[in-house]
């Protein structure tokens, strides 16, 4: 397999072109709808009203809106100017623009902020997944800009959960590319663009993410997200799935079971 390396220019171009699809991924089922609620649950648990928060890899601002609802002041950072522009539309439509301090085009591996600038840093979705071999650099940067005692909240693509959810596609890929190629992807977690239609990714086992974060502080929470696919039309059933995911996703044996792993570090 060709060595995969982080290419911020290519990633920015991809998400500029990807546009609105990054916003609609929870609504159209590409990311299970309950996953958004689980992410929001951990924001409410670890971010307080009045906190200054970095939303790193903010995309179109879905979690910026949740942070605004908590009462946080938010700085958005993303590689993609197009996604940051889309966030102006989405955040304003939600009535949350007053919470935004700034929008900054930035690579999470080299954040343009002073040490201890934020009460919390949030890096939800795929940003850590896409930086590949630069994952340790990105975590160091998120920790650096967060004040002592503050929290760094991250989520990454889960190797176990993603493989289980997509097993039929995995077998199709094995027929086309060979069993050895699939075994290499699972052994390393490195997923080339040809297999996903996205920029290359590093899919994480829980032990890898745990060790990466624990070097910088105390892990205070971890959960699977996206355990349950689908979004029932009935509000009470949708709310039930959301509550079940928060409850069951934090069980030690379930942390890798969804397409994303979420973790919270106290620095």
Q: What is the pLDDT of residue 8?
A: 96
The CATH number that applies at residue 13 is: 3.40.50.150
Q: What is the pLDDT of residue 196?
A: 87
For 30-44, write each residue's pLDDT tens digit: 888 899 999 999 999
Residue 72 has pLDDT above 70, yes or no: yes
For residue 73, tell me if it sits in a domain: yes
For residue 2, tell me if it sits in a domain: no
Is residue 157 a contact partner of residue 199, using CB atoms and an 8 Å limit? no
For residue 160, tell me if it sits in a domain: yes
Pairwise CA distance, residues 17 & 231, whole Å: 27
pTM, whole model, 2 decimals? Answer: 0.96
Q: What is the mean pLDDT of residues 236-246?
A: 95
For residue 3, tell me if it sits in a domain: no
For residue 137, tell me if it sits in a domain: yes
Pairwise CA distance, residues 176 & 157, whole Å: 24
Is residue 56 a contact partner of residue 111, using CB atoms and an 8 Å limit? yes
Helices (H) and strands (E) in the chain, counts: 12, 9
> Which band of pLDDT confidence, cut at 50, 70 and 90, is reported for residue 1?
low
Q: What is the pLDDT of residue 79?
A: 97
For residue 1, tell me if it sits in a domain: no
Out of 94-98, 153-157, 190-194, 204-208, which region has the weakest mean confidence (pLDDT)?
190-194
Q: What is the pLDDT of residue 86?
A: 97
For residue 16, tell me if it sits in a domain: yes
Residue 67 CB burial class (10 angstroms; 0-12, 13-18, ≥19): buried
Out of 72-76, 80-84, 167-171, 214-218, which region has the weakest mean confidence (pLDDT)?
167-171
Average pLDDT of the chain is 96
Between residues 231 and 263, which one has the greater pLDDT?
Answer: 263
- What is the domain extent for residue 17? 8-266
Out of 97-101, 147-151, 157-161, 169-173, which region has the weakest mean confidence (pLDDT)?
169-173
Residue 77 has pLDDT above 90, yes or no: yes
For residue 90, tell me if it sits in a domain: yes
Q: What is the pLDDT of residue 229?
A: 82
For the chain, how many structural domains are there in total?
1
């Amino acid at each position: 397999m060709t060595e995969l390396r982080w290419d911020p220019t290519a990633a920015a171009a991809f998400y500029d072109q990807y546009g609105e699809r990054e916003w609609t991924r929870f609504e159209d089922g590409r990311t299970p709808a309950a996953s958004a609620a689980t992410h929001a649950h951990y924001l409410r648990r670890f971010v307080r009203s009045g906190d200054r928060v970095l939303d790193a890899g903010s995309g179109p601002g879905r979690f910026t809106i949740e942070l605004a609802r908590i009462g946080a002041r938010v700085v958005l950072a993303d590689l993609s100017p197009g996604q940051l522009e889309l966030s102006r539309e989405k955040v304003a439509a939600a009535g949350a623009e007053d919470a935004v301090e700034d929008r900054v085009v930035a690579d999470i591996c080299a954040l343009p902020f002073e040490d201890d600038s934020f009460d919390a840093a949030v890096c939800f979705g795929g940003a850590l997944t896409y930086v590949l071999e630069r994952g340790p650099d990105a975590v160091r940067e998120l920790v650096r800009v967060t004040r002592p005692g503050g929290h760094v909240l991250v989520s990454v693509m889960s190797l176990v959960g993603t493989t289980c959810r997509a097993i039929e596609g995995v077998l199709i890929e094995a027929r086309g590319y060979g069993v050895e190629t699939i075994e290499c992807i699972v052994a390393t977690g490195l997923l080339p663009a040809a297999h996903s239609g996205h920029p290359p990714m590093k899919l994480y086992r829980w032990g890898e993410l745990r060790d990466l974060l624990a070097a910088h502080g105390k892990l205070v929470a971890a959960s699977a997200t996206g355990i349950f696919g689908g979004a029932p039309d009935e509000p009470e059933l949708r709310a039930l799935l959301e509550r079940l995911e928060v409850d069951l996703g934090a069980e030690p044996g379930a942390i890798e079971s969804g397409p994303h792993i979420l973790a919270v570090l106290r620095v």
